[in-house]
């Protein structure tokens, strides 16, 4: 997000792989919302397909991608953002850090809530057939008066959550400054205990906030892993152990999660009744929800650490293309919703196979949003200051 993961400069050149990881995750964000569009699984502004109409192959492909990606990719962003937030706070001090967070996170959030969200709701998806009943000004005034804007964060719920996490962190460090001592890399046992604690927390939260529910567009059902990875990122930033995290250990986690996580997902889906339309794993006091919460925790933490090691070993490169992606990552994240929706609406007449449409639309939407972000950063100085 803005200035939470800056493009690597001479002081942080060896951390360029983190920029590449962030760019990759944001590419997955665009794919994920495209998958929701053409699968019906999950929540999004526009869904072209009802999940019940999918064939078995499409259900498996869309379901596995959605479950596996959801388990780790936003948590990985929280880890990376927290890592750089810790470094920023240590450099700036708590007060200046809070001012910077309010500007870098608060301004884009307000732009999305009060500009982009109303545009999408009225001109693209036409909520409640508003265009047939109201002018845009009338609809916008209703949006404000009804407090619908409280949940109008769209994908920028992440920015809102990051701001909510960062402010208490700054307050805590104002009271109790961090030690400057370099810490040790978390042991395998520490990682396992973190996975267990996160799984228990997720299961507990889903007794009251099952998967599929949200509060003001914040899906609290997933916040156990978000908080855990944010705290882990803070620890990595303050104790400076990320650079010394053993690549072999990380690659081992990466391999284990793929080798174990994917088969276990099939066991949960088949044994838990998902193939029969039973989704008990979404939450509640049952074994499906309990096992699924631990599966997600295992994937979230293990795969995030594994990918960091993987990118450091194999994708620690900087060139013109990676710098272009890194400098536009937040712009892509912020503007991909209206671009993806517009492309999806334009392609309604094409009655293609959902899997094929998703495979073609996702990279096209990503490229189109990259181009839009690039133009905005070059042509609108005010937004460039916010999104750089």
- Is the CA virtual torsion 117, 123, 124, 128 positive or negative? positive
Residue 192's pLDDT is what?
96
- pLDDT tens digits, one per residue of 207-225: 999 999 999 999 999 999 9
Q: How many helices and strands (H and E) does the chain possess?
A: 16, 0
pLDDT tens, per residue, the chain with 388 residues: 544 443 333 334 458 899 999 999 999 999 999 999 999 999 999 999 998 889 999 999 999 999 999 999 999 999 999 999 999 999 999 999 999 999 999 999 999 999 999 999 999 999 989 999 999 999 999 999 999 999 999 999 999 999 999 999 999 999 999 988 888 899 999 999 999 999 999 999 999 999 999 999 999 999 999 999 999 999 999 999 998 899 999 999 999 999 999 999 999 888 877 777 778 899 999 999 999 999 999 999 999 999 999 999 999 999 999 999 999 999 999 999 999 999 999 999 999 899 999 999 999 999 999 999 999 888 787 777 777 6
DSSP-derived secondary structure for 130-169? HHHH--HHHHHHHHHHTTGGGGTTGGGHHHHHHHHHHHHH
Q: At which residue do the structure tokens 């526009």 appear?
A: 46
Q: At which residue do the structure tokens 């009655």 appear?
A: 351
Q: How far is it, in rounded angstroms, from Cα 207 to Cα 228?
A: 19
Buried b / exposed e across 104-133, counting CB within 10 Å, b at 16+?
Answer: bbebbbebbbeebbbebbbebeeeeebeee
Q: How far is it, in rounded angstroms, from Cα 107 to Cα 28?
A: 24
Among candidates 304, 376, 385, 382, which has minimal Cα distance to 336? 376
Residue 13's pLDDT is what?
45
- 34 falls within a domain: yes
Domain count, the chain: 1
Among candidates 239, 234, 230, which has minimal Cα distance to 198? 230
The pTM assigned to this predicted structure is: 0.93
Q: How far is it, in rounded angstroms, from Cα 11 to Cα 24?
A: 22
Tokens of 179: 């030690």
23: Cα separation from own chain's centroid = 12
Among candidates 260, 129, 235, which has minimal Cα distance to 173? 235
Q: How far is it, in rounded angstroms, from Cα 184 to Cα 325?
A: 32
Residue 383's pLDDT is what?
75
Among candidates 331, 388, 327, which has minimal Cα distance to 103? 388
- pLDDT tens digits, one per residue of 137-172: 999 999 999 999 999 999 999 999 999 999 999 999
Residue 364's pLDDT is what?
97
Residue 234 parent element (H or E): helix 223-239
Using CA atoms, how far residue 184 sits from 113, 236, 238, 243, in Å, is: 41, 9, 11, 11
Bridge partners (DSSP) of residue 218 are 215
139: Cα separation from own chain's centroid = 30
- 375 falls within a domain: yes
> By residue range, what is the domain housing residue 2?
1-54+320-388
Q: How far is it, in rounded angstroms, from Cα 376 to Cα 222?
A: 32
- 219 falls within a domain: no
Among candidates 247, 182, 193, 33, which has minimal Cα distance to 120? 33
Residue 3's pLDDT is what?
45
Cβ-contact 289, 190 below 8 angstroms: no
- 348 falls within a domain: yes
CB atoms inside a 10 Å sphere around CB 137: 8
- 185 falls within a domain: no
Q: Please enumerate in sequence order all residues whose Cβ is within 8 A of that of 9, keeping only pairs 6 or more positions apart, or say none.
A: none
Q: How far is it, in rounded angstroms, from Cα 60 to Cα 64?
A: 6
Tokens of 312: 């450091």
CB atoms inside a 10 Å sphere around CB 94: 17
């Amino acid at each position: 997000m803005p200035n939470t993961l800056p493009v690597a400069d001479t002081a942080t050149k060896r951390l360029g792989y983190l920029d590449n990881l962030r760019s990759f995750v944001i590419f997955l964000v665009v794919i994920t919302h495209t998958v929701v569009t053409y699968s019906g699984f999950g929540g999004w502004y526009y869904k072209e397909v009802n999940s019940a109409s999918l064939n078995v192959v499409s259900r498996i492909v869309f379901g596995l991608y959605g479950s596996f990606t959801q388990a780790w990719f936003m948590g990985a962003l929280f880890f990376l953002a927290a890592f750089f937030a810790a470094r920023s706070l240590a450099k700036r001090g708590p007060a200046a850090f809070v001012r910077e967070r309010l500007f870098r996170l608060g301004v884009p959030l307000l732009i999305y809530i009060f500009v982009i969200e109303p545009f999408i709701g009225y001109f693209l998806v036409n909520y409640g057939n508003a265009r047939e009943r109201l002018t845009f000004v009338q609809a916008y005034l209703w949006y404000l008066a009804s407090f619908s804007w409280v949940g109008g964060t769209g994908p920028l719920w992440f920015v809102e959550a990051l701001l909510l996490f960062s402010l208490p962190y700054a307050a805590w460090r104002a009271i109790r400054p961090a030690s400057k001592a370099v810490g040790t890399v978390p042991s395998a046992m520490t990682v396992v205990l973190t996975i267990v604690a996160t799984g228990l927390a997720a299961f507990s939260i889903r007794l009251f906030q099952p998967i599929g529910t949200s509060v003001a567009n914040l899906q609290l059902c997933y916040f156990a892993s978000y908080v855990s990875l944010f705290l882990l990122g803070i620890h990595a930033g303050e104790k400076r152990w990320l650079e010394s995290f053993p690549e072999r250990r990380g690659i081992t986690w990466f391999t284990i999660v793929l080798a174990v996580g994917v088969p276990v997902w099939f066991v949960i889906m088949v044994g838990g009744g998902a193939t029969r339309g039973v989704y008990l794993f979404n939450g509640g006091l049952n074994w499906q929800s309990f096992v699924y919460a631990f599966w997600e925790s295992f994937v979230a933490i293990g795969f995030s650490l594994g990918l960091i090691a993987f990118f450091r070993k194999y994708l620690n490169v900087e060139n013109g293309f990676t710098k272009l992606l890194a400098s536009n990552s937040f712009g892509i994240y912020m503007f991909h919703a209206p671009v993806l929706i517009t492309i999806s609406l334009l392609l309604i007449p094409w009655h293609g196979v959902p899997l094929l449409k998703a495979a073609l639309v996702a990279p096209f939407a990503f490229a189109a949003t990259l181009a839009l972000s690039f133009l905005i950063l070059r042509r609108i100085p005010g937004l460039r200051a916010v999104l750089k």
